[in-house]
Amino acid sequence: MPILLPFSKTEHAPPPPQKGLTPLTNADLITVKPARMSTKITQQKIAEIVGGKLTQGDPAAALTGLNSVAEANSGEITFLGNLRYLPTLKSTHASCVLVAPGFNPEDAPEGIGLIEVENPTLAFSAVIREFAPPTRRFITGVHPSATVAASAVFDPQKVSIGPGVVIEDDVVVGDGTAIHPGAVIGMGTRIGSNCVIHANVTLKDRTLLADRVIIHSGTVIGTDGFGYEFTQGQHKKIDQLGIVQIDNDVEIGSCTTIDRARFGRTWIGEGTKIDNLVQIGHNCIIGKHCIIVSQTGISGSTRIGDFVTMGGQVGVAGHLEISSRVMLFAKSGVTKSLKEPGAYTGYPARPLMEGRKMLTYPAKVPELIDRVRALEERLASLEEKA
């Protein structure tokens, strides 16, 4: 049976075991379901799976795997999702490739199978699922080494709690949610249905997760915001009493940190996807369906609209507003609010064309120095002759 925490708010003695808990064994954890696909799939079958049309190649030819355009071998399928890889496609050893409608067969090796589909990149995800290795099986119940407070609320027949998980007082976990080994779920946290909390994730007290949220290993949600007031010659900590709220269908990568609000909430909107190694400060509001790439840092109390994309290593100062449908190129530095949709780049971030122009200027400095020196020498020569 799982260990029960002896620090319930209402009882000082160790509480009785929860009824109906289904212990997991270590054998359960390594159980995998068999692969759903055969080892060989015909080109015609692949076309049907992706909703495409086989425009060239043998419908009965068997495919045994998948790979990138550059690394695919005979018997494997690949895809052309970006025209920059067209030169590589011409020399690929793949037997079949997913292409966009209207693709010119002369741009591919002779005899290769061609499947036209509206979005090759998205369609290739369906192919990956067919050739995927065996996946972790969802085993309901609670592992004997898990530590679960008596006041925690969940249906043990409809969740999966792994080894070493700690679930503190007044936590609620929705049906279909899996909490993997070593995760810590702080007091008063609410986790919705069909979420996946990967190994060693920490959800600090009172964090709110909606449905179908995925959080990858090592991420910490709800750390104290970085708030201090300098007084009497030292930095005094300001209490951070708010929460973090994460809406439906958000996915957060590994080793990302999202700070709790000083008061109110730090809020991640529906459908937003956050990469590894991202820092989001206290009281930030991130809109719906945003993309935030690795090593981005967003300072506290910044508000970001919907459908915003931030490339790698973007930095955003605090207390700013970024309009919906803004795209920030990698390493952009945002020092003032961006209130118009569009693409921005550079430091400080400027509209794309202006920013690109500014980025080219430093490279011209050596040439300008040489020209200035030449002019100085010429001027000195003319002065000597005068």
Task: Give the whole-angstrom CA distance, residue 144 versus residue 165.
Answer: 10
pLDDT at 15 over 60: no
Q: Note whether 175 and 195 are within 8 A (CB).
A: no
CA-only gyration radius of the chain, Å: 28
Least confident of 3-12, 127-136, 167-176, 267-276: 3-12
Q: 136 exposed, middle or buried (CB, 10 Å; 0-12, 13-18, 19+)?
A: middle
Pairing label, strands 196-197, 178-179: parallel
Tens of pLDDT along 212-229? 999 999 999 999 999 999
pLDDT at 23: 55
pLDDT at 54: 96
Q: Note whether 294 and 270 are within 8 A (CB).
A: no
- Two tokens at 105? 């067969």
Mean pLDDT of the chain: 89
- Two tokens at 152? 């925690």
Amino acid at 25: T
Residue 231, number of CB atoms within 10 A of its CB: 8
What sign has the CA pseudo-torsion 348, 351, 352, 358?
negative
pLDDT at 136: 78
Cα dihedral angle (240, 242, 244, 245), rounded to 10 degrees? -170
- pLDDT, mean of residues 252-262: 97
- Two tokens at 176? 């279909």
Q: Which residue has the higher pLDDT, 49 or 353?
A: 49
pLDDT at 206: 97
DSSP 3-state of 46 = helix
Tens of pLDDT along 37-66? 447 899 999 999 999 999 999 999 999 999
Beta strands (DSSP E) in 125-241 are 141-142, 147-148, 160-161, 166-167, 172-173, 178-179, 184-185, 190-191, 196-197, 202-203, 208-209, 214-215, 220-223, 228-231, 234-237
Residue 281, number of CB atoms within 10 A of its CB: 21
pLDDT at 13: 33
Pairing label, strands 62-63, 65-66: unpaired
Res. 14 pLDDT band, cuts 50 70 90: very low
Res. 4 pLDDT band, cuts 50 70 90: very low
Angstrom CA distances, 281 to 18, 26, 266, 329, stand at 37, 38, 8, 20
Task: Give the whole-angstrom CA distance, residue 338 versus residue 324.
Answer: 9
Topology classification of domain 141-351 = UDP N-Acetylglucosamine Acyltransferase; domain 1 (2.160.10)
Report the predicted TM-score, pTM, of the whole model to 2 decimal places.
0.80
Class of domain 41-131: alpha beta
pLDDT at 359: 80
pLDDT at 273: 98
Beta strands (DSSP E) in 250-320 are 251-252, 257-259, 265-268, 273-274, 279-280, 285-286, 291-292, 297-298, 303-304, 309-310, 315-316
pLDDT at 377: 86
Q: H or E stretch including 373? A: helix 352-385
pLDDT at 36 over 90: no
Res. 29 pLDDT band, cuts 50 70 90: very low
Q: Quick one: what percent of the chain has pLDDT higher than 90?
A: 78
Least confident of 24-28, 191-195, 270-274, 364-368: 24-28
Res. 352 pLDDT band, cuts 50 70 90: confident
Task: Give the whole-angstrom CA distance, residue 225 versus residue 257.
Answer: 10
Catalytic residues, which ones? Answer: 282
Sequence-distant (6+) residues with CB within 8 A of 299 are 281, 284, 316, 317, 318, 319, 320
DSSP secondary structure letters along 72-109: --TTEEEE--SGGGHHHHTT---SEEEE-TT--GGGS-
Amino acid at 342: G
Q: Note whether 144 and 23 are within 8 A (CB).
A: yes
pLDDT at 25: 53
Tracing tokens 């209207």 back to the chain, one arrives at 102
pLDDT at 252: 98
- pLDDT, mean of residues 140-164: 96
Closest CA to 314 of 274, 361, 349: 349
Tens of pLDDT along 263-305? 999 999 999 999 999 999 999 999 999 999 999 999 999 999 9
C-alpha angle 84/86/88, rounded to 5°?
Answer: 100
- pLDDT, mean of residues 340-364: 87
Question: Any idea where the domains of the chain sit in the sequence?
Answer: 41-131, 141-351
What sign has the CA pseudo-torsion 304, 251, 270, 263?
negative
pLDDT at 30: 41
Residue 326, number of CB atoms within 10 A of its CB: 22
